[in-house]
Amino acid sequence: MQFKEIIGQERVKQQLVQTVKENRISHAQLFLSPAGSGAVPLAIAYAQYINCLNKGERDSCGECSSCRKYERLIHPDLHFSYPFFASASVKTAVDVLEEWRGMLLQDPYFDMDIWRSKLDAANKQANINIAECHDIIKKLSYKAFEAETKVLIMWLPEYLDKAGNALLKLIEEPPANTLFILIAQSQDQILTTILSRTQIVKIPKLSSEEVTGYLLNSSGLTEHQAIDYSFLADGNLIEAKALAADTQSDSSGTFTAWLRMGFGNKVPDLIDFTDEAAKWGRENQKNFLKYGVNYLRECCLILSGAEELVKLPPLTFETAKKLSTHVLTLPMAEAIISELEKAHYHIERNANPKILFLDVSLQLVKIIKFKTLPAGTQYIYN
């Protein structure tokens, strides 16, 4: 894995390269990042750069013996630890190493749900147990086989629980030339004793432009679809890929047209829309409702005078601004959001989509056209 293969994160890449050049690599680092931002490939690329035999100014060479082994994740001085589902045949992470490597080589952007699907999870809970901690101590006590620096990459140390205390001395005083990289999503769930022994590297979520660019280059989406999915994913490349797998029509145009039907009290058109929406399939219906919730939250920012915080693309932003200026009020937007969230909840539980979308459509008429708000949504604003 080279830095050039990783989407975005240019500032973080530069920061990591600089630590190597200036010989100030902290022996225990915590990569703190939201899901789908590329923390795992960044950690692997960083380790590869550290051990590259012919480093470039900004990246590893990708050709030396060390880089070739890193590319296949078989370098003897590269170790991984991660949550797994313990059983009679699976006692430590190395027992499912082949599944881990296979997943990483297929796509280094993944989350716990994807990892769970690669294993026989049944109804067991994932964790990093005490046996795994002892195995880590054992592995890192050996001398490096080939590389100058041994590297342990631990994904989701949040799953360590109290067993992580067994690693404290190793993390604080590791053997010479040993690097710990912990990759976490929630700082609050990590043992404070471990947190205090690491240097935090904050990795931001990807920008909408980076996700849009990736979707346009890697899939057959139109520009409007790529922008919509990027907006929905909110910097999470894993979610953006999942959305792209179920291609849907232009969400922004469809959603604003739906609102206009409600404002115009066009019941026949709303019935036609309901018949069409019922054919989309559950995942596309959920994505559409989620888009509507996010869109209306951006409208709430406009209504609150915080236009500079709005993340909508230019054309969609202009439409949202007109809608917010001439049609919506904050209580109305909040009431519609509540209806969409309830609809999303019921779609997940196999509600009849035709009945559901017709009900929400009629609620739109009541809220937008007749300004009749459901009980509990009348707020007082200063």
Whether the CB-CB separation of 255 and 292 falls below 8 Å is answered with: yes
276 CB-near residues (< 8 Å, 6+ apart): none
Per-residue model confidence (pLDDT) at position 250:
66
Q: Which of 104, 334, 109 is nearest to 235 (CA)?
A: 109
Q: Taking the domain 3-204, which CATH number applies?
A: 3.40.50.300
For 20-37, write each residue's pLDDT tens digit: 998 888 888 999 998 889
Better-predicted residue by pLDDT, 297 or 377: 297
The Cα 249–Cα 284 span in angstroms is: 9
Whether the per-residue pLDDT at 381 is higher than 60: the answer is no
Instruction: Specify the 3-state DSSP secondary structure of 329.
Output: coil
Per-residue model confidence (pLDDT) at position 376:
59
Per-residue model confidence (pLDDT) at position 265:
92
The residue extents of the domains of the chain are: 3-204, 248-370
Per-residue model confidence (pLDDT) at position 246:
58
Q: What CATH fold (topology level) applies to the domain 248-370?
A: Zinc Finger, Delta Prime; domain 3 (1.20.272)
Give the mean pLDDT of 137-147: 88
The confidence band for 382, taking pLDDT boundaries of 50, 70 and 90, is very low
Query: Residues of the chain with pLDDT > 90: what percent?
Result: 40
The Cα 21–Cα 142 span in angstroms is: 26
Per-residue model confidence (pLDDT) at position 189:
83
Give the mean pLDDT of 80-87: 88
Instruction: Supply 193's token pair.
Output: 């004793």
Whether the per-residue pLDDT at 195 is higher than 60: the answer is yes
Whether the per-residue pLDDT at 308 is higher than 90: the answer is no
Whether the per-residue pLDDT at 122 is higher than 70: the answer is no
Per-residue model confidence (pLDDT) at position 226:
84
Distance of CA 8 to the CA centre of its chain: 14
Per-residue model confidence (pLDDT) at position 43:
93
350 CB-near residues (< 8 Å, 6+ apart): 282
Whether the per-residue pLDDT at 65 is higher than 50: the answer is yes
The confidence band for 339, taking pLDDT boundaries of 50, 70 and 90, is very high
